[in-house]
Structure 1
Amino acid sequence: MSASQLTKEYKISSFTLRSWRDKYELYGMDGLEESHSWKEYSNELRLSAIQDYLSGKYSKLEICRKFKVSRGALEVWIKNYNNHKETRQTHRRKSLMINSRKLSFEEKVEAVHLCIKNGHDYSAVMEKYQISYQQIYSWTKKYE
Structure 2
Amino acid sequence: MGKKGSRYSLEEKLVCIHLVEQGMNPHAVGDQYSIKDDQIRQWVTRYHQDGEPGLMRPKPQQYPTELKKEIVQKYLAGQTSYSQLAKEYQIPNIAVIYQWVTRYTSGKSLKTIRGKAAVKDGRKTTQLERIEIAQWVIANDLDYVGAIQKFDVSYGQVYTWTKKFKQGGPSALEDRRGKAVEDHGQLTESEKLMLENKRLQARVERLSTELAVRKKIQELERRNALKRKGTKSSKNSHKK
The higher relative CO (CA closer than 8 Å, separation ≥ 6) is in 1
| TM superposition score normalised by structure 2 | 0.31
| TM superposition score normalised by structure 1 | 0.49
**Structure whose CA Rg is larger:** 2
